[in-house]
Every structure is written in structure tokens, then in C-alpha cells.
């Protein structure tokens, strides 16, 4: 069935996080390093921070309650005002005959500032920021709400994102089709997932 709505993730789907991570997270990385307990894992922590919410990273590396709280306080009001460039193939999504929705997980002010710096607000019918620090809702809840409010069936919605364990998993649980956007081909254990490296390829998934 032809897709009427496409839901996109933000980080590593619309733009590459690594392009701003060192500037964005400089104070956080310094704080973690100065803590002393995680120096040997810093590269892994940095890589995970580019793909996962801070709360998930803190739990994975067993941050102390004090360090996790300091990190949350730092990130809660963090904003980004530098230049951010979307992926070069981003304009392709505006050529597709389906309504566009943006759903991202992260700290509200930070995600909002990134969306503003990207200049993409007008490209989407709806934009949703799921902030784990202020809500118990998940991407799955938002996907379901978008479907119901817009009168879509699950088969009329396509979810596009870079994380098999986040938006892709949520889509599957709602019986929505999903496509993994693996721009840098880093996912090696996802052979069964429909995968693209360029938004031009999405046309094959919306007919």
C-alpha cells in the first residue's frame, strides 16, 4: 500500500552527529574524563553519545549517581548555535509524495536548537521531541499518536532512522514498515532490515 506518511529520526538521519559532537559535548566529555573512573572507556563513550541518549550511555557505563546527575544538569539546558549541515541527500525527502514527520529523542532545548540551526522546521508537518528527562512517553507512543490523529493505517506509514533498537524497533512493534538509514554502513548485523544509504532509494519503499 502506498505510504501517506513518513516519520524521520533526526540525529544521524537528517545530519551527522559527529560533525558537531566535539564542540557540542566538549564540557560533558571533560567532566567525564575528570571523574577519573571512565578514562579507559572515553572513546567508546564518545561514540555512544553520538548515537544514544545520555541516560542510556550513563547506564551502560555505570556512571555514579553523582556523575549522571551532573551530566543531566549540564545537558538539560544545553543549546547549539553553530552551523549544522544536513546530509547532502536530505533534499531528496522533499520530493517524495508523502507527509513528513520528525520525531527525535533527546533534551528538548538541545534538539530544538539543532532543528533551528538546520533550518528544517518548515519541511515537516509535525515535529516531536521526546525528552526522557520530562516525559515517560517514547517514540512508539508518538508514532501511534501520529497514525491515529492523521487517520493512517499502520501500512500507510513508513519510519526512517539510523537506530535498529530505537525508531526501527518501535515501528516494527506497531506493524509499521521501517527502513534503516545507514549512511556510513556501520550496521553489520542487520541483514534482514531494509537498508538505504541515500534518500533517493526511499522511492522504492513508498509505492
Tell me the pLDDT tens digit for each residue of 16-25. Answer: 999 999 999 9
Contact present, 49 and 21 (Cβ < 8 Å): yes
- Give the pLDDT of residue 90: 98
Looking at mean pLDDT, say which of 7-11, 72-76, 133-137, 161-165 comes out highest: 7-11
d(CA 9, CA 121): 14
190 has a pLDDT exceeding 60: no
pLDDT mean over 4-9? 98
Classify residue 193 as left (phi > 0), alpha (psi -120 to 50) or beta. beta
d(CA 144, CA 107): 21
Span 120-166, pLDDT tens digits: 999 999 999 999 889 999 999 999 999 999 999 999 999 999 999 89
All three cell numbers of 172: 516494527
92 has a pLDDT exceeding 80: yes
| Chain Cα centroid distance, residue 172 | 16
| Mean pLDDT across the chain | 94
Pairing relation of β-strands 126-130 and 99-105? parallel
Bridge partners (DSSP) of residue 105 are 130
- Give the pLDDT of residue 189: 58
Amino acid at each position: 500500500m502506498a505510504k501517506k506518511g513518513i516519520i524521520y529520526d533526526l540525529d544521524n538521519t537528517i545530519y551527522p552527529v559527529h560533525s558537531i559532537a566535539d564542540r557540542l559535548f566538549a564540557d560533558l566529555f571533560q567532566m567525564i574524563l575528570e571523574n577519573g573512573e571512565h578514562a579507559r572507556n572515553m572513546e567508546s563513550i564518545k561514540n555512544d553519545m553520538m548515537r544514544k541518549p545520555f541516560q542510556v550511555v550513563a547506564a551502560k557505563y555505570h556512571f555514579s549517581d553523582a556523575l549522571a546527575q551532573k551530566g543531566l544538569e549540564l545537558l538539560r539546558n544545553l543549546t547549539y548555535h553553530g552551523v549544522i549541515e544536513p546530509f547532502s541527500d536530505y533534499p531528496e525527502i522533499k520530493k517524495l509524495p508523502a507527509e513528513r514527520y520528525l520525531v527525535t529523542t533527546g533534551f528538548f532545548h538541545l534538539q530544538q536548537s539543532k532543528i533551528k540551526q538546520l533550518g528544517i522546521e518548515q519541511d515537516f508537518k509535525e515535529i516531536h521531541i521526546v525528552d526522557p528527562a520530562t516525559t515517560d512517553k517514547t517514540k512508539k507512543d508518538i508514532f501511534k499518536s501520529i497514525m491515529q490523529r492523521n487517520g493512517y493505517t499502520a501500512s500507510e506509514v513508513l519510519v526512517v532512522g539510523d537506530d535498529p533498537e530505537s525508531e526501527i524497533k518501535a515501528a516494527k512493534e506497531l506493524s509499521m514498515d521501517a527502513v534503516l538509514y545507514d549512511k556510513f554502513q556501520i550496521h553489520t548485523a542487520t541483514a534482514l532490515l531494509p537498508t538505504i544509504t541515500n534518500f533517493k532509494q526511499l522511492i522504492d519503499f513508498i509505492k
